[in-house]
Each structure stands twice: as C-alpha cells, then as structure tokens.
C-alpha cells in the first residue's frame, strides 16, 4: 500500500514516526499552520514525480547509464524546491514515500550543501534506469525527424513511457492529478487577467532551475498556475451552451458509456448546492435561478460560495462522466460554505470515490462539519453491512452512492507537530474527541460565563 512518513518537515515533527497510508479518502484536520496543507502537498508532490521524470527524458538527450540517477534526482529535487521553497532555512528533515513495499523515494535535507537530497529504493532505481535509458535512446533518435512515420513513432514511444511510469514496475499510479487550492473563486474573479499567467506557466514549466528560486513569488504559485490552466481546459468543455446535461447528451452521441442514474443524482445535488442551474452561453458562465430565461446571474457576479464550489463540482461531474481515474486535493472545501453546503460537498466527493475504486482524494480542512458529514456516510455503510435487511431503509436516509467503508478512509488530526489517527474502528466511525473538541471548548467558555452571571445574581 502507498504510504508516507514525514519527519521534522516544517510544522510536522512526528516524534512517533506515524506513517500515513494513502486511502481512497484522506482527511487532515487541525488548526491553521498545523501542517494540513503541507501533508497534502507532499502527497501531491510524490504522486506527480512521474510527470517530472517523463519531462526529463523528453528534454534531456544526454541521459545515459552513468549519469541517469544524478540527472533524475536533480529534476526531482528542483521540483521539490518549486513546490516547497528553499530548504536552507529549515532544520534537518526526511520525507519518505512508499509507492509499494519494495519501491520508495526519499527526500531529505543535505546538511553539507543545505539543498535537498533525493534517493531511490534500489528496485525502483534499477527498474527506471533499465527501462528509461532504452526508451530515451529510441526517442531522441527520431526526435528531430518530422515525417509522418517518425511522428507516429514518437507518439508510440511517449505513450509507452507514460504507461510504464504509471504501471506496477514503476510508480503504480494511474491517476490524473490535480491540486485544487483554497480561494478557487479567483478563477472567476480574475478571469480577464489570466492570459499572462498562463503564458508564464508555459514558459517555466519545462525549465525548472534549482538555483533560481525567484521564478515564483511563493511556494503555492505553481499549484495555482496549474489549477488555472486546468480550469481553462475544463471550461472549454462547457462552452456553447453545454451545461451538465448538454455534456451528457454529447457523451451519448459519441457512444461513451456512463452511469446515467448516478449523473442525474449528481446534477440534482450540484443544482441544490449552487442554488440554480449552471450554463455557459456566448456571453459567459451563468447560474439560472428559475425556469425563466431572464432569471439568472453571471458567475463573476454570483456569491463567493457559488464561485468557490463551481470548479470542483465541474471536475467531479466530468471525472465521473468520462470514468477517469483521478487523484485530487480539495483544499479547504468548507471555504465560503454554510455547514449544509459543506455536507453536500462531502457527499459529492463520496460519489466520486465510489464511482471508481482507484480514485484518491485528499482534503485538508479546519471544519468539524466536514467530519460530522463524513461520519454519517461511514455509519450508513456500516449499518447496511451489519443489518442487510435494513439496507433499503438506510438508502432512503443516505443514498447508496454516498456510503463509505471505513477501510476506504484515513482521518488524521494534527496538533503541536504530531499526527494522530482519528478513526474509531470499534464504533466504525470517527473518534468522538475529534468531533466534539471544538464544541466542548466553546461550551466550556459559555459555562464559565453563566457561572459569572449566576454569581452576580
């Protein structure tokens, strides 16, 4: 099983060396600056290393057995710096990610230089080197030949390498990856300013320089840029009046197989949460509030909550429609949402998880409402398993498409640099301390105030 071990990196100390298995749904909860997003970014980093290796092979014609490990390690190290910033001001740290029991990559601070050091498990390194050198040689032999046969051959080689990196011999990682950062509504509010940002992304993506740490203003910018690029591509699917139902009709025309009942359920829930129907006409994206064609608001003028959730909801819909295998980080899904909106968001994520058993979702969150909603979905599945005669009654309360098995889930609380497993396997749910901690603290304050009131009376 995939898992990650983090020691002394940024806010995470992890004295007990708690390993985090990567499940279908992985939730990290804690106060601000407790390390939630750091863990999410680390998992994303390791999941996307294969893309950096692919880029290195295609852009480095000098790869050979005698420099392979050094060149690949340098590329991975540069990528780490771009996501997390320079490590020179940090204490000694180590982060190790297991793609399988016999394949891992480790990132640690090199005290001699102050830079990061990348090391590969021997089995993974040997497999990569053996396979990639032969593919690299073949690719660069025809890289500058532009006849039709050579073009098709290059495509074959690139696809073969990509499939190898996804497969069991390498990273065992078939996912399409995306990190959805908080403040997603910027893709709506700043839409007219995004062209320059896209150009910047395209200029820097292929030339990560370990010694140039000034390409980004912060270590979150690369994630924002990649997300914006994804949104641009995603929006193009919804243009020309093709809302959610229009894309279903298009998929039907192209004879794409999909679960029509599930998609109808998803559209209904999306429309409940965005308080209307989404459409995209020649003038832009809009949310229609009623059946009247004149009762609508364009998305840039909609509420911050509607702007915040439309991108993840579009992504969930498309992932299920096209049966993609996805890895997603939905950072702070509670942003700008009322508690019932947070509940609905988690229910949509549960549908995405159940639509494909290989899907993996990571959620860094502050919200106890997210956990309460999750606890209900776990409880529904548990009751249906333990008491099958009540399955249909459970389905009436919580739709079957949203049930989650405890084994699919990891929930970790972060506090004072430590990582705590927060699942209660005996009661088949979340530990009550995680659900009740905030409420208890606020209630204690209220009780103290009441005591003062009664004393003065």
Q: pLDDT digits over 114-135, tens only?
A: 789 999 999 999 999 999 988 8
Domain count, the chain: 1
CA distances for 332 relative to 275, 296, 311, 323, 378, angstroms: 21, 28, 14, 25, 21
Cα(87)–Cα(107) distance, integer angstroms: 11
Model pLDDT, residue 441: 63
**pLDDT above 80: residue 210:** no
| Domain-located, residue 271 | no
| Domain-located, residue 267 | no
SS3 3: strand
Terminal alpha carbon distance of the chain: 62
* pLDDT band, residue 342 (cuts 50/70/90): very high
Burial of 450: CB neighbours in 10 Å, binned 0-12, 13-18, 19+: exposed
| Domain-located, residue 269 | no
Nearest-5° Cα angle at 367, 354 to 448: 145
- What are the tens digits of pLDDT across the range 373-412? 999 999 999 999 999 999 999 999 999 999 999 999 999 9
The rounded mean pLDDT for the chain is 87
Give the predicted TM-score (pTM) of the model: 0.91
* pLDDT band, residue 18 (cuts 50/70/90): very high
Mean pLDDT of 291-320: 91
SS3 10: coil
- Cβ 254 vs Cβ 266: under 8 Å: no
- What are the tens digits of pLDDT across the range 349-381? 999 999 999 999 999 998 989 998 999 999 999
SS3 440: helix
| Domain-located, residue 284 | no
Q: Which residue has the higher pLDDT, 275 or 436?
A: 275
- Cβ 24 vs Cβ 350: under 8 Å: no
Helical residues (DSSP H) of 60-102, grouped into ranges? 68-84
| Domain-located, residue 432 | yes
| Domain-located, residue 392 | yes
**pLDDT above 80: residue 146:** no
Model pLDDT, residue 204: 55
| Domain-located, residue 278 | no
Q: Would you state the torsion angle of the CA atoms of residues 173, 177, 180, 185, taken in this order, to the nearest 10 degrees? A: -160
**pLDDT above 70: residue 449:** no
Q: Are strands 103-109 and 116-120 parallel, antiparallel or unpaired?
A: antiparallel
**pLDDT above 80: residue 432:** no
| Enclosing domain of residue 444 | 3-236+308-456
| Domain-located, residue 299 | no
Model pLDDT, residue 411: 95
**pLDDT above 80: residue 85:** yes
**pLDDT above 50: residue 199:** yes
């Amino acid at each position: 099983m995939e898992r990650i071990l983090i020691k002394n990196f940024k806010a995470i100390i992890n004295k007990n060396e708690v390993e985090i298995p990567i499940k279908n749904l992985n939730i990290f909860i804690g106060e601000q600056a407790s390390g939630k997003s750091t863990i999410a970014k680390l998992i994303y980093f390791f999941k996307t290393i294969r893309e950096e290796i692919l880029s290195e092979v295609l852009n480095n014609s000098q790869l050979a057995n005698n420099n392979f490990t050094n060149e690949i390690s340098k590329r991975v190290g540069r990528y780490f710096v771009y996501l997390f910033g320079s490590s020179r001001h940090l204490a000694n740290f180590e982060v190790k990610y297991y793609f399988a029991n016999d394949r891992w990559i480790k990132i640690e601070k090199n005290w001699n230089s102050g830079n990061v050091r990348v090391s590969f498990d021997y089995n993974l390194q040997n497999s990569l080197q053996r396979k990639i050198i032969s593919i690299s040689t073949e690719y660069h032999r025809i890289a500058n030949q532009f006849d039709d046969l050579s073009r098709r051959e290059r495509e074959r080689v690139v696809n073969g390498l990509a499939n190898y990196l996804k497969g069991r011999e390498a990273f065992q990682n078939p996912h399409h990856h995306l990190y959805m950062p908080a403040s997603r509504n910027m893709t709506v509010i700043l839409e007219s300013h995004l062209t320059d940002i896209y150009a910047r992304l395209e200029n820097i993506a292929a030339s990560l320089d370990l010694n140039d740490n000034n390409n980004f203003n912060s270590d979150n910018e690369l994630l924002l840029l990649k997300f914006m690029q994804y949104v641009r591509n995603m929006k193009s699917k919804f243009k020309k009046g093709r809302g959610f139902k229009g894309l279903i009709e298009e998929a039907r025309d192209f004879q794409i197989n999909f679960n029509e009942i599930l998609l109808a359920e998803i559209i209904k829930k999306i429309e409940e949460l965005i308080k209307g129907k989404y459409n995209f006409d020649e003038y832009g994206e809009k949310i229609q509030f009623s059946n009247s064609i004149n009762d609508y608001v364009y998305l840039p003028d909609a509420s911050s909550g509607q702007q915040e959730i439309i991108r993840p909801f579009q992504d969930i819909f498309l992932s299920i429609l096209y049966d993609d295998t996805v890895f997603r980080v939905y950072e702070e899904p509670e942003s700008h949402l009322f508690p019932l909106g947070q509940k609905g968001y988690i229910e949509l994520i549960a549908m995405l998880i159940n639509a494909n058993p290989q899907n993996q979702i990571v959620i860094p969150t502050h919200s106890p409402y997210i956990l309460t909603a999750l606890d209900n979905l776990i409880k529904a599945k548990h009751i249906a398993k333990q008491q099958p005669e009540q399955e249909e009654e459970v389905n009436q309360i919580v739709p079957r498409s949203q049930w989650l098995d405890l084994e699919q889930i990891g929930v970790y609380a972060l506090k004072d640099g430590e990582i705590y497993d927060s699942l209660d396997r005996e009661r088949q749910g979340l530990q009550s301390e995680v659900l009740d901690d905030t409420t208890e603290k606020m209630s204690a304050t209220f009780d103290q105030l009441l005591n003062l009131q009664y004393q003065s009376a």
